[in-house]
Structure 1
Amino acid sequence: MARWGEGDPRWIVEQRADATNVNNWHWTERDATAWSTDKLKELFLAVSVEGEEGRCEVTEVDRLEGEASINNRKGKLIFFYEWDVKLNWTGISPSGVKYKGYVEIPNLSDENDPSEVEVRVSLGKDQPDTALTDLMRRSGAHRIREAVAEYISTLRTEFTQGMILPTQNGAPHTAETEAKQKPAPPPAQKKVEKCQNTGVKIPTCKVRMTETFLTSPEELYRVLTRQELVQGFTHAPATVMADKGGKFHLLGGNVSGEFIELECEKRIVMSWRFKTWPAGHHATITLTFTEKRGETELQMEARGVPQSEEQHMRDGWKRYYFDGIKQTFGYGALLL
């Protein structure tokens, strides 16, 4: 395992002098967030079900937060999407009584097959019990998963048109052609396929780490957002602009990114990358501060870490962030 700052040079993509990216062979990325937002709203608002209990339909997309993108690396399409969804639904009983409720999809992501997507159906506050809730939980949830499946299918075909991939003999073809030619895996093999780097699943992973510091959330937050303090625990030059949209460069430029969200003493969300990762690829890191009896528990979750870098990421955060902070400021651990 290479140390931070000594990455495998094969990850580095040198730019051609003529600025040509032949057949999109180098890492290219297309943002699918805006397109996905419109597509998901269209599909969800078309959901309606009927039964003996009456009729239900999705009437509003109350919350749709997340992101989606497609990357092309050496002829392979890599899809990333993660959404937090809340829908409003309305039901009408056979007698004409109207009811209102909610549908929540807490984690619509590339890690789950559409059939595995969690769909939570609830009735609105102060609404009397009704059999329409069971109708939505049964048939409504099924229709919502069908809408999710259609979104994923369309994302992989319609939105990817123009992202040209190289074939084995060098002749380019489109992502749509590849999707049509590639046979669908049999149902029994779906979970196996999800664990393989087949080119249609993101070769990334989530990294979660938890560390306890003998200090307050206020002090730990300052350590992670003040430039002079960051330089102190990393023992290297750093640039830190701790504002929403502010950039940071740590460890002499080996680590860089941007602050997405800052909630003082509670939460930091940032776009984060190590310089030896494929060009343009960032992980999303969320740091959550929790006070526990005079100590601070720091939870780190990183989404979009290249699978080959998982252990590298864990080792680097442990050594340069967690142990570095404790050793420099005396927040708990005695490093021998």
Structure 2
Amino acid sequence: MAKWGEGDPRWIVEERPDATNVNNWHWTEKNATPWSKERLSQLFKDFKIEQNDIDCVVEAVDKCNGEATVNNRKGKLIFFYEWELVLKWSGRLLKNSKLSHKGKLTIPNLSEENDLDDVEITVTIDESNDESETLKLFMYNTGRDRIRHQLGVYIKELKEEYSKNLLLPKKGDGNEAPLKDSKLKDANNVKNAIHKAVTVSAKTSKTPLNASINVGCKLDVRTLSMTEEFHCNANDLYNALTKPEMVTAFTRAPAKVDAVRGGEFVLYGGNVLGKFEELVPEKKIQQSWRLKNWSSGHYSNVVIEFEETSSSTMMTLKQTGIPASEYDAMRTNWHRYYWHSIRQTFGFGSSIADSL
């Protein structure tokens, strides 16, 4: 997966200081990872959980792995966060003992995919005895709700405070625009972009898709190969790349996908487009594939093949005809905007094989 900030600016347009992201059309992204780590640490530093004769405290965040970003896509804020947390806690029974018992709280799945009530919180103790088991039961029955409340504070602040300046003023609106007008304009912009992209694709398709227009110079091209493992069956992964509703889900934007031979696809606001050349369910997808800014009429050839194992599906991709200047960005963007996003959206697990 690519690190934040390494995305191809032709796929994601970063926020510009001159506020020329007119009508918030482009995808702007803000890295919320450092802020999130600091805020989570603050929320769980000496956080007390008390009731009757029981005194417990979350002392600190022992482990905080993950990432968070805030994205603006066509005037709509989209939040991505995925965290694995381990909190250190201690507790005492005030009446009968002055001994302090220690343990940990493990939160493996704090993400936008899970409702707060569904976030798993595991309570453990370092040493088991009658007192520590009483404290553990208290943390399970009462402490977990208090922990979820703090997690809710983090999520609310991420969405309401940290992301305040991500939406830029619209052209001609001064500093703000009515929400209803914003949504209406954004909906019209989406329709116009898809229509325009499809028109461009239809015009360029008059030229053979696997050929480049002869403009008097030879285009330097390269070939990209990569292998990825997904924890799903081949049919699920095939559908994720061919079903319009699933493509829309992982690209987080309206998508045109006509998964038949000769059918067109238009993704990421028209920046990615092409045609399906061959489709073999659960086995193979072949596409004529291009970025909108490539030389007119030039398409790369993408072949994606699936091999299902007993516990996962191995996916191999080979893309030929990539302009040499685009190779590094292309490799990064397949990982980030396709494979990582598919795993994050549909829960298909993590990669064990990297780009060849």
Q: Helix, strand or coil: the match of 2:343?
A: strand
Which residue does the alignment assign to 2:51? 51
Is 1:236 the equivalent of 2:320? yes
Is 1:39 the equivalent of 2:39? yes
Is 1:119 the equivalent of 2:137? no
Q: Helix, strand or coil: the match of 2:133?
A: coil
Question: Is the contact made by 1:101 and 1:123 (CA closer than 8 Å) also made in structure 2?
Answer: yes
Q: Helix, strand or coil: the match of 1:67?
A: strand
| Distance in 2 between residues matched to 1:173 and 1:138, nearest whole Å | 45
- CA drift of 1:108 comes to 0.1
| Distance in 2 between residues matched to 1:12 and 1:68, nearest whole Å | 16
| Distance in 1 between residues matched to 2:64 and 2:163, nearest whole Å | 22
Q: Report the CA distance shift for 1:40/1:235 in structure 2 as closer, same or farther (over 3 A).
A: closer
Aligned counterpart in structure 2 of residue 273 of structure 1, from 329, 334, 356: 334
Aligned counterpart in structure 2 of residue 211 of structure 1, from 293, 305, 308: 308
Question: Is the contact made by 1:166 and 1:173 (CA closer than 8 Å) also made in structure 2?
Answer: yes
| Distance in 2 between residues matched to 1:127 and 1:41, nearest whole Å | 30
Question: Is the contact made by 1:28 and 1:72 (CA closer than 8 Å) also made in structure 2?
Answer: yes
**Which segments of structure 1 move beyond 6 Å, counting only runs of 4 or more?**
251-254
Q: Helix, strand or coil: the match of 1:152?
A: helix
Which residue does the alignment assign to 1:192? none
Which residue does the alignment assign to 1:85? 85
| Distance in 1 between residues matched to 2:47 and 2:124, nearest whole Å | 16
| Distance in 2 between residues matched to 1:202 and 1:115, nearest whole Å | 26
> Computing the radius of gyration over CA atoms, which structure comes out larger, 1 or 2?
2
| Distance in 1 between residues matched to 2:12 and 2:100, nearest whole Å | 60
| Distance in 2 between residues matched to 1:147 and 1:60, nearest whole Å | 13
Question: Is the contact made by 1:87 and 1:102 (CA closer than 8 Å) also made in structure 2?
Answer: yes
| Distance in 2 between residues matched to 1:39 and 1:98, nearest whole Å | 27
Q: Deviations over 1:145-165 (max 9, x none)?
A: 000111111111211122224
Q: Deviations over 1:196-215 (max 9, x none)?
A: 9xxxx9948xxxx98329xx
Q: Deviations over 1:229-258 (max 9, x none)?
A: x8xx7263689xxxxxxxxx9x9779421x
Is 1:148 the equivalent of 2:151? yes
Which residue does the alignment assign to 1:161? 164
Which residue does the alignment assign to 2:102? 100
Q: Helix, strand or coil: the match of 2:137?
A: helix
Q: Report the CA distance shift for 1:78/1:49 in structure 2 as closer, same or farther (over 3 A).
A: same
Which residue does the alignment assign to 1:137? 140
**Amino acid in structure 1 at the alignment position of 2:122:** R
Question: Is the contact made by 2:68 and 2:80 (CA closer than 8 Å) also made in structure 1?
Answer: yes
Is 1:303 the equivalent of 2:306? no
Q: Report the CA distance shift for 1:101/1:125 in structure 2 as closer, same or farther (over 3 A).
A: same
| Distance in 1 between residues matched to 2:135 and 2:175, nearest whole Å | 52
Q: Helix, strand or coil: the match of 2:165?
A: coil
| Distance in 2 between residues matched to 1:162 and 1:19, nearest whole Å | 11
**Amino acid in structure 2 at the alignment position of 1:83:** W
Percent identity (aligned) = 36
**Amino acid in structure 2 at the alignment position of 1:134:** L
| Distance in 2 between residues matched to 1:138 and 1:12, nearest whole Å | 44
Give RMSD over aligned pairs.
4.8
- CA drift of 1:78 comes to 0.6
Q: Deviations over 1:7-54 (max 9, x none)?
A: xxxx897x99x9932254311100000000011111122532112451
Q: Report the CA distance shift for 1:210/1:52 in structure 2 as closer, same or farther (over 3 A).
A: farther
| Distance in 1 between residues matched to 2:251 and 2:141, nearest whole Å | 31
Question: Is the contact made by 1:47 and 1:143 (CA closer than 8 Å) also made in structure 2?
Answer: no
Q: Report the CA distance shift for 1:252/1:61 in structure 2 as closer, same or farther (over 3 A).
A: closer
| Distance in 2 between residues matched to 1:167 and 1:147, nearest whole Å | 35
- Single out whichever of 24-33 and 122-131 deviates more from structure 2: 122-131
User: Could you tell me the TM-score, scaled by structure 1's length?
Assistant: 0.51
| Distance in 2 between residues matched to 1:96 and 1:211, nearest whole Å | 58
| Distance in 1 between residues matched to 2:309 and 2:161, nearest whole Å | 47
Q: Deviations over 1:125-146 (max 9, x none)?
A: 4565431111111121011100
| Distance in 2 between residues matched to 1:99 and 1:21, nearest whole Å | 55
**For 1:163-202, what aligned pairs fall within 5 Å after superposition?**
163-165=166-168, 170=173, 172-173=175-176
Question: Is the contact made by 2:28 and 2:72 (CA closer than 8 Å) also made in structure 1?
Answer: yes
